[in-house]
């Protein structure tokens, strides 16, 4: 009978006997298998796009709004476009009653428009005007002189140092809590019967204000579809009706939504999209150019995020921004994964970033969040119910993901390409994750590593790949192999990867040779499945078939099983013992290894209904045409003296496992007669008798 999954290939210590035992499990010694299939599939879905992120298209940079009165023309335009947000009436009542309202939300969500709309409504009642103020109003006594009776004022706090709201104050006020600052401002405004709306970006200051519940309210943006339609109407409403209708129709085209890659564009993004759609409807933009503009939205968001994170230059001031940046990068790698894994990975990266910025001080971790979940909003992420595959079963998880499928790759590229000093801490972080035995961690880290190596192979080879290969950790070497296979998807990188693996396969370093064999198990590094099989055949002479048979088995579970079976049957007739052994070991693995353990880097949907079955049974069910060659391989294993005992045990275990599942048993009963048929190599009588006894017992 077959033993428990997870053991290694066994060969007699006596080189003269060379008896082959049933190869079980993988070179990972059982670690990192269960759950890897689903993890790899989800990682590919988030980091592979049919058309990758576009360069950020050059567009006019919005000018900062100057201090001073807001013109009547701007207020009239606001009245025509503005859509009331959830809680608008409550905001207006709070502002009317207390004279000051702090709106806490992210940049680009329409906070300023809402603030102006609220102030305009109250100004209409009081006969006052609406003005914008600079942060100097918070300096104290001099600021109050700018406030006029019955007027409305909009103030946006600077985002340069979001962790420390008093950054706009003199040194003596640096320790003043944010709520006390707003108390001072409210007193100045209320004294003159005026009104003030303060815009506060998400972060520690906003969290504290919202927890105080005196001045602040959380801002929720209006529906993007409503904002988009209002802007399209403004831009095209005076022209032919068919232009507006064309723009509306284009906005909901699947290719436009896919290129945009955002679940819910923010109001500022909706306004920008409306301009592109209007230009397209009027003939100023081609279809392709429109899609290029849409594909630049996610990279633009990533660039804005990292620009904000880079402003503070001392660790205490920078730590909240570093923590936000680390969360976004962790989300790029773990998008759709368990929140606990993502949060822990983000904290590990925060530590790497912090000690890089200030090597003399190690940061701690905040134990309690002012507002749990608030950090996700700053990363345009959300939580929800999910499930994590554990191989035999799945467990419920609290999953987290970006609100937009293009954000993950955009964040990864912006961090890697645009900020060189981020590479060191990111590389150390990814290497550490690649040593985690859980496939839910190392698989995602390995695939992200491969994506980054494809962006800069010279850097990735030295800083990411070699440190993973030259360790005693089998999980790290498997991660390195996965990363190399992933990087070889890029046509301009594949020759370098193929040459590297060829050198490793022919070298004397056992760790490099094993990594090469594992990498070829994905069928990508050599450019084709036959190319990878050829390399595995060469390496088999040096590894006794242990690793190479596992990689050949992984290829057998891929998209070209007939190609693999043809090569295995060809190896049966090879004069070189290593290749004959490789064919036999691979087929013995096929009857003892669960299909779900053999995930690759490509989609094989036809095997998904049989993930819990041994691969041989799954192949017979999904690809009946595989039966003749599979029978020939098993028949050879049963009749060769060195493999007969192992093959008999494998066959008995295979049949007994199928006995508990009627579907598997039906497939197997249709296949077994092929083994007993007369042929050039008939079954040994003892083996045939044993198979017959097992069948009768069933």
pLDDT digits over 65-106, tens only? 778 899 999 999 998 888 899 999 999 999 999 999 999 988
Contact between 311 and 322 (Cβ < 8 Å) = no
**Co-location of 288 and 323 in the same domain:** no
Strand partners, 382: 401
The least confident of 35-49, 126-140, 241-255, 315-329 is 126-140
The Cα 350–Cα 479 span in angstroms is: 23
Report, as an integer, the average pLDDT of 603-624: 94
- Tell me the per-residue pLDDT of 163-192, one tens digit each, with 9 for 90 and over: 333 333 344 444 467 778 889 889 989 999
How many domains, the chain?
A: 4
- Which DSSP string corresponds to 141-196? HHHHTT--TT-EEEEE--SSSTT-GGGGS-GGGTT--HHHHHHHHHHHHHHTT-EE
Coil vs helix vs strand at 397:
strand
Strand-pair category, 216-218 with 381-389: unpaired
**3-state per-residue secondary structure call for 97-112:** HHCEEEEECCCCCCHH
In a domain, 532, yes or no: no
The least confident of 140-154, 447-461, 558-572 is 140-154
Where do the H-state alpha helices sit in 434-545? 439-455, 457-460, 466-469, 474-487, 494-506, 510-520, 529-543
Contact between 549 and 29 (Cβ < 8 Å) = no
pLDDT at residue 278 greater than cutoff 60: yes
**Co-location of 557 and 454 in the same domain:** no
- Over pLDDT 70: what percentage of the chain? 86
pLDDT at residue 31 greater than cutoff 70: no
In a domain, 543, yes or no: no
Spell out a b/e string for 73-99, using b for 16 or more CB atoms within 10 Å of the CB, else e.
eebeebeebbbebeebeebbebbeeeb
Mean pLDDT (the chain) is: 86
Single residue among 170, 190, 218 that ends a domain in this structure: 218
* pLDDT classification of 310: cutoffs 50, 70, 90: low
CATH at 178: 3.40.50
**Co-location of 7 and 102 in the same domain:** no
pLDDT at residue 141 greater than cutoff 50: no
In a domain, 61, yes or no: no
Most confident of 128-132, 155-159, 180-184, 540-544: 128-132
**Co-location of 593 and 692 in the same domain:** yes
* pLDDT classification of 364: cutoffs 50, 70, 90: confident
Angle at 323 between CA 317 and CA 325, to 5 degrees: 105
Report, as an integer, the average pLDDT of 667-692: 69
Single residue among 235, 264, 295 that ends a domain in this structure: 295
**Co-location of 664 and 579 in the same domain:** yes
- Which DSSP string corresponds to 410-453? HHHHHHHHH-GGGHHHHHHHHHHHTT-S-HHHHHHHHHHHHHHH
Within 10 angstroms of residue 242's Cβ, the number of other Cβ atoms is 10
pTM for this model (two decimals):
0.89
Q: What is the pLDDT of residue 522?
A: 96
Report, as an integer, the average pLDDT of 574-591: 93
In a domain, 436, yes or no: yes
Q: What is the pLDDT of residue 369?
A: 73
**Co-location of 556 and 695 in the same domain:** yes
**Co-location of 559 and 622 in the same domain:** yes
Best CA proximity match to 637, nearest among 579, 587, 570: 587
Best CA proximity match to 5, nearest among 581, 615, 446: 615
pLDDT at residue 13 greater than cutoff 70: no
Report, as an integer, the average pLDDT of 128-154: 75
* pLDDT classification of 687: cutoffs 50, 70, 90: low
Q: What is the pLDDT of residue 169?
A: 38
In a domain, 60, yes or no: no
Strands annotated E in 319-414: 381-389, 394-402
**Co-location of 6 and 132 in the same domain:** no
pLDDT at residue 327 greater than cutoff 90: yes
Q: What is the pLDDT of residue 12?
A: 38
**Co-location of 282 and 330 in the same domain:** no
- Tell me the per-residue pLDDT of 102-127, one tens digit each, with 9 for 90 and over: 999 888 899 999 999 999 999 989 88
**Co-location of 633 and 588 in the same domain:** yes
pLDDT at residue 144 greater than cutoff 70: no
Contact between 202 and 169 (Cβ < 8 Å) = no
The DSSP secondary-structure symbol of 18 reads -
**Co-location of 577 and 445 in the same domain:** no
* pLDDT classification of 362: cutoffs 50, 70, 90: confident
The Cα 371–Cα 269 span in angstroms is: 27
Single residue among 295, 324, 345 that ends a domain in this structure: 295
Contact between 395 and 388 (Cβ < 8 Å) = yes
Within 10 angstroms of residue 677's Cβ, the number of other Cβ atoms is 10
pLDDT at residue 695 greater than cutoff 90: no
Best CA proximity match to 518, nearest among 492, 542, 550: 550
Report, as an integer, the average pLDDT of 2-11: 35
In a domain, 535, yes or no: no
pLDDT at residue 457 greater than cutoff 80: yes
**Co-location of 596 and 634 in the same domain:** yes
| Structural domain boundaries enclosing 519 | 31-51+298-527
Sequence-distant (≥ 6) Cβ neighbours of residue 366 within 8 angstroms: none
Report, as an integer, the average pLDDT of 238-247: 94
Report, as an integer, the average pLDDT of 468-473: 92
In a domain, 416, yes or no: yes
Within 10 angstroms of residue 256's Cβ, the number of other Cβ atoms is 19
In a domain, 541, yes or no: no
Q: What is the pLDDT of residue 83?
A: 85
């Amino acid at each position: 009978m077959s033993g428990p999954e997870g053991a290694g290939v066994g060969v007699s210590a006596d080189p003269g006997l060379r008896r082959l035992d049933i190869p079980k499990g993988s070179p990972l010694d059982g670690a990192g298998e269960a759950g890897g299939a689903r993890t790899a599939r989800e990682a590919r879905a988030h980091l592979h796009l049919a058309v990758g992120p576009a360069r950020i298209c050059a567009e006019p940079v919005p000018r900062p709004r100057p201090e001073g009165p807001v013109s009547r023309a701007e207020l009239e335009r606001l009245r025509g476009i503005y859509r009331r947000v959830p809680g608008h009436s409550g905001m207006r009542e709070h502002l009317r009653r207390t004279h000051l309202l702090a709106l806490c939300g992210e940049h680009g969500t329409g906070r300023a428009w809402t603030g102006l709309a609220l102030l305009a409504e109250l100004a209409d009642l009081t006969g006052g005007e609406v003005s914008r103020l600079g942060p100097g109003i918070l300096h104290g006594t001099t600021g109050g002189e700018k406030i006029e009776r019955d007027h409305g004022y909009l103030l946006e706090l600077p985002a340069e140092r979001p962790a420390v709201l008093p950054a706009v104050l003199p040194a003596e006020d640096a320790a003043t809590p944010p709520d006390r600052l707003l108390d001072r401002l409210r007193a100045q405004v209320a004294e003159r019967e005026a009104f003030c709306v303060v815009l506060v970006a998400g972060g520690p200051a906003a969290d504290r204000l919202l927890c105080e519940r005196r001045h602040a309210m959380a801002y929720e943006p209006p529906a993007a579809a409503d904002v988009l339609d209002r802007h399209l109407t403004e831009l095209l409403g005076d022209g032919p009706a068919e232009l507006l209708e064309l723009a509306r129709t284009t906005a909901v085209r699947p290719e436009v939504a896919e290129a945009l890659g955002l679940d819910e564009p923010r109001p500022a993004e909706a306004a920008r999209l409306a301009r592109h759609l209007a230009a397209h409807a009027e003939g100023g933009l081609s279809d392709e150019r429109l899609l290029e503009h849409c594909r630049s939205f996610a990279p633009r968001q990533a660039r804005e995020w990292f620009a904000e994170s880079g402003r503070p230059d001392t660790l205490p001031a920078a730590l909240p921004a570093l923590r936000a940046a680390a969360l976004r990068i962790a989300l790029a790698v773990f998008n759709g994964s368990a929140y606990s894994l993502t949060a822990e990975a983000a904290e590990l990266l925060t530590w790497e970033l912090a000690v890089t910025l200030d090597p003399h001080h190690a940061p701690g971790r905040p134990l309690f969040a002012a507002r749990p979940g608030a950090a996700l909003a700053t990363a345009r992420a959300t939580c929800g119910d999910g499930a994590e595959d554990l191989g035999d079963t799945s467990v419920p998880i609290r999953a987290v993901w970006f609100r937009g499928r293009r954000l993950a790759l955009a964040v990864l590229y912006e961090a890697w390409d645009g900020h060189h000093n981020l590479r060191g801490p990111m590389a150390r972080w990814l290497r550490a994750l690649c040593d985690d035995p859980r496939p839910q961690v190392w698989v995602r880290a390995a695939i992200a590593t491969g994506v980054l190596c494809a962006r800069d192979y010279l850097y990735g080879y030295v800083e990411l790949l070699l440190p993973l290969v030259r360790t005693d950790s089998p999980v790290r070497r498997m991660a390195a192999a996965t990363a190399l296979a992933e990087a070889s998807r890029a046509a301009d990188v594949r020759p370098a990867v193929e040459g590297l693996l060829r050198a490793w396969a022919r070298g004397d370093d056992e760790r490099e040779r094993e990594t090469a064999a594992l990498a070829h198990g994905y069928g990508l590094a050599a450019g084709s499945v036959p190319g990878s099989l050829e390399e595995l055949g060469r390496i088999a002479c040096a590894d006794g078939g242990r690793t190479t048979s596992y990689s050949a088995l992984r290829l057998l579970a891929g998209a070209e099983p007939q190609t693999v079976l043809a090569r295995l049957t060809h190896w049966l007739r090879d004069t070189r013992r290593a290749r004959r052994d490789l064919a036999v070991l691979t087929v013995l693995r096929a009857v003892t290894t669960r299909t779900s353990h053999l995930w690759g880097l490509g989609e094989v949907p036809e095997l998904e209904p049989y993930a819990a079955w041994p691969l041989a049974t799954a192949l017979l069910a999904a690809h009946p045409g595989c039966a003749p060659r599979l029978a020939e391989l098993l028949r050879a294993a049963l009749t060769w003296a060195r493999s007969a005992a192992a093959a008999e045990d494998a066959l008995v275990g295979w049949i007994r496992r199928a006995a508990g599942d009627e579907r598997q048993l039906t497939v197997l009963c249709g296949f077994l007669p092929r083994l007993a048929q007369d042929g050039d190599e008939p079954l040994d009588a003892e083996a045939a008798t044993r198979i017959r006894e097992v069948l009768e017992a069933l």
